[in-house]
Amino acid sequence: MNYSVMIVDDDEFIRLTIRELFRTAGINVISAGSADECLNELEKGFQGVILMDIMMPGKDGWDAIRMIQEKDLLRGSIISMLTARDVPDEKMLGLQEYVTDYITKPFEGEALIATVKEYFSYLEHHQKADKK
């Protein structure tokens, strides 16, 4: 299966930068400017790595994860926080099991690509194991 990356961030510059970074590595990117756009993509069947910002107006990243979990939309995906915050806040309590990684901005492009590719391998391995 070909997995994609979904960048969920209210900052259009961040979304465009990450889209270009992954495009040059041959990885498809879906952009979501809000928690609701992220949920919409998941409801349409998105599977892959979700790079979730925390600080967004309205529903923040933690709210988005809570809604993803409540609607059982995480199957076939991994969530990694991609945020300017150095440490998680108290809203993360109870959601730790749904977050695979916590990456702070600024990030190193090549390292982010390598990390996402590792997550793709993990998802592929688990998809094959689930079919057995």
Residue 132 has pLDDT above 90, yes or no: no
CA distances from 123 to 62, 64, 66, 126, 128 (A): 22, 21, 21, 5, 9
Residue 94 has pLDDT above 70, yes or no: no
Residue 118 has pLDDT above 80, yes or no: yes
Counting the structural domains of the chain, the total is 1
Q: What is the pTM of this model?
A: 0.90
Mean of the per-residue pLDDT values of the chain: 89
Q: Which residues span the domain enclosing 97?
A: 4-131
Q: Which residues on neighbouring strands pair with residue 105, listed in sequence order?
A: none
Question: In this predicted structure, what is the pLDDT of residue 102?
Answer: 84
Residue 1 has pLDDT above 70, yes or no: no
The amino acid that residue 67 corresponds to is M
The whole-number average pLDDT for the span 100-122 is: 90
Q: Say how many C-beta atoms besides its own lie within 10 A of residue 107's C-beta.
A: 14
The CATH number given to whatever domain includes residue 14 is 3.40.50.2300
Q: What is the pLDDT of residues 6-65, one digit of tens each?
A: 999 999 999 999 999 999 999 999 999 999 999 999 999 999 999 999 889 999 999 999
Take residue 68 and report the two structure tokens written for it: 């993803």
The amino acid that residue 104 corresponds to is T
